[in-house]
A and B are shown apart, each in its own frame.
Chain A
């Protein structure tokens, strides 16, 4: 009961702050709301006993990536950005597409929980805690994707450095 109400609160916060993110004109405010969203999602992770995911969510997204977002946004002149309209004229189409998607999802949910048979979640051994289980899955079952992902980060880094680097002389 407690868990359920906490979940509801977190979910409402996550969704409403998500809406705030895209409706704020001031990008810094958007980032702040995004942080709130990430936090509440982290809370939901915690509610599911996924402590590791929670911690990573906070450390990486809130503590790292969002800081860099802010860093970049602060370098931009916020006043001019705030005056620009946040949406293009196609917002109606976008809204329509979102509605269709929402209807579909709702239909899916309406069809019942049974249709969401998410396979059987692999239970970690009793003496193993959540973090170790995540590590086991990542480095045993999905070692190859992890390695590939490292190259993904590498190429992103190379690209970013290349684009941002000052010209010689």
Chain B
């Protein structure tokens, strides 16, 4: 371990250290605000250290025998930054949310920090070992986070469901990795890439089988159809800030890895893999958008919509070419902002004993709480892809990328399902703008920090939608380092 390596790993180290520090502090004296502040401080420090790490890029960490375990390059650091920012927003939202709960609250931040660590590991991973460990850390932390409000049966249910399905998907991934390892005798992405691009795989069945199993695992994690069945229940059951985290950070990290894995190994060039992924993308778009039509709960609607959005991202992913990775990354950024804003509103509106979710909870929101209503409206616009929001430009970019590489059938499906999507977003909007019933109680006051975050997210939504240039340049630079 040289100083160079340590500097490169600084973001990871800082996050782990913060988790330990929060744990020790909670053991000595419980203080919710202090725990949240420590967490934010740690995240900020890690974010700052990204710059230091960026100076050294790209740096592979590993050994000659094991191959490179982590790659700290612009791409990884970019996603780490995204993860950290998203997590910071979740921390602020969670603080306001947990303040209303009677149970131990400090442990949440330990779990969250470790989950962030797992996500960051995924973003930088270029080896099956670090990939799997990162994924497991993320999942294990999420089991507990999903079931965090133990007094709520629905939260426990979410935890158990996530546990079972995440464990099952992990076995798929492992088996897939094992098959690939059996075939290639290596677990490092760059070795794999070397052999796969050279076409040295005598046993195509094993490779295809391995990749298929891995795709299944990925599918579970990203909630792509037909592996999406867990999503609505967990989105509904988990505490709102956790849902926000699951929807954004964990999926973002997963996609970051997916991108790196498939692009660097070139696995997506296998025709069968391409076909399978295309079918999955189509199925996700259909299942997500059609499923959402039947829901009466905003959290469930957002769950189905996330399935659809993951389908869109997959389309961008399949577009490959020059624009593909950029489209994926940009879409993820827009999706982060939008989803965080939407769940932020849900979080802020949730009373102590349950989460806001039923459409009735939002009736007349715009009249009662104009600010919150406005944020929710913006988020829904963005999700639906209305112009002048981040979502519009992201979707536009995806379509452009798809058109660029000529995957027309998928693009047409994307456009059609987006139209369907418009319908259920509008249903929510109708509720938001309808005349309020007098009897409905208002949720507690939104804390200043949460309000600030929500305002910031809305501003970003519009800014990215109207002036995407800055972000686009950053994305281009980051993705550029992916093709070494």
Contact = CB atoms under 8 A, between A and B. Distances in A.
**A, B in one complex:** yes
A148 B182 contact: no
Nearest 5 pairs of A and B residues by beta carbon:
A119-B185, A159-B144, A141-B66, A115-B203, A155-B114
A148 B63 contact: no
Given A116-B182, A151-B16, 7 more contacts: A111-B203, A115-B203, A120-B185, A143-B1, A144-B9, A154-B19, A155-B110
Nearest to A162: B107
Contacts of A96: none
B7 interface: no
A140 B62 CA distance: 9
Contacts of B152: none
A41 to B, nearest CB: 15
A108 B129 contact: no
Contacts of B66: 137, 141-142
Given A104-B209, A108-B205, A144 B110 contact: no
Interface of B: 1, 9, 16, 19, 23, 61-63, 65-66, 69-70, 103-104, 107, 110-111, 114-115, 117, 121, 129-130, 133-134, 136-137, 140-141, 143-144, 147-148, 150, 159, 175, 179, 182-186, 202-203, 205-206, 209
Interface in A83-122: 101, 104, 107-108, 111, 114-120, 122
Contacts, number: 103
Contact of B23 (A101, A156, A158): A158
A141 B130 contact: no
A2 interface: no
A59 interface: no
Contacts of B121: 148
A108 B206 contact: yes
Interface in A135-168: 137, 140-145, 148-149, 151-152, 154-156, 158-160, 162-163, 165, 167
A154 B110 CA distance: 10
A137 B65 contact: yes
A159 B111 contact: yes
A117 B195 CA distance: 13
A51 to B, nearest CB: 21
Contacts of A108: 179, 182, 203, 205-206, 209
A144 B65 contact: no
A144 B129 CA distance: 10
A151 B137 contact: yes
6 contacts: A108-B209, A116-B182, A122-B65, A148-B121, A158-B111, A163-B144
A114 B201 CA distance: 11
A145 B150 contact: no
B140 to A, nearest CB: 5
